[in-house]
Chains A and B, each alone.
Chain A
Amino acid sequence: ETGVTQSPTHLIKTRGQQVTLRCSSQSGHNTVSWYQQALGQGPQFIFQYYREEENGRGNFPPRFSGLQFPNYSSELNVNALELDDSALYLCASSLSGTSGSYEQYFGPGTRLTVT
């Protein structure tokens, strides 16, 4: 069973640039969630994708966007980077059904630094 993987591990970007982060879900999982974790803080929910559709969004501006592909892998895109976007970006996959709660499996994260 393959776990959740993310790429790249680290990334340095300049303010105003755009970035794409990638996530491969755990085998058999159909749902991907993205989180932003600033230093010393808990993860903050950005959005979730289920069967290639956005299925919930946190309090993040539209310049944070995403995609989920037929193989359930996912991308997080951030446009017009700001210094405050510097954080650890976490991807979590899970298997969603009709109701109830689900265990999420997190990847190791991508550390983004905006200068």
Chain B
Amino acid sequence: LAKTTQPISMDSYEGQEVNITCSHNNIATNDYITWYQQFPSQGPRFIIQGYKTKVTNEVASLFIPADRKSSTLSLPRVSLSDTAVYYCLVGDMPGANNLFFGTGTRLTVIP
């Protein structure tokens, strides 16, 4: 079961780059790594997904080392609106028994 481990919380000042690392030592060959963002009383929102190396989109970058046992979500120049809980998931399809959200990382952006 490819569970994940993330820091419980992080604080950052506005305008800084934030890196959140996730450990997934038991990741399987077919598993992808997906990050979601969740605001209070809302459903999670997809941020980024990757399999290996580096993936970048308009909101974040995802760095995955060669052994794929960890991944780092990078948020450039965070703003107050980025205050949320960030979840790292591994799995080969949504809803499979190996898809595990965990408790996530609560990011607080400070003015």
Contacts and interface: CB of A to CB of B under 8 A. Distances in A.
Interface of A: 4, 31, 33, 35, 40-45, 47-48, 55-58, 88, 90-92, 94, 96, 99-109, 111
Interface of B: 30-32, 34, 41-46, 49, 51, 85, 87, 91-97, 99-104
A37 to B, nearest CB: 8
B43 A90 contact: yes
Given A41-B103, A99-B30, A104 B42 contact: no
Contacts of A55: 95
A102 B101 contact: no
A101 B91 contact: yes
Query: 6 closest A-B pairs (Cβ-Cβ)?
Result: A106-B43, A48-B95, A101-B32, A42-B101, A33-B95, A104-B94
Contacts of A101: 31-32, 34, 49, 51, 91-94
A106 B45 contact: yes
A107 B96 contact: no
Contacts of B34: 101, 103
Contact of A103 (B49, B85, B101): B49
A43 B91 contact: no
Nearest to B47: A103
Contacts of A105: 46
15 contacts: A41-B103, A42-B102, A43-B101, A57-B97, A96-B93, A101-B32, A101-B91, A101-B92, A101-B93, A102-B94, A103-B34, A103-B49, A104-B44, A105-B46, A106-B44
Contacts of A47: 95
Contacts of A35: 101
A48 B94 contact: yes
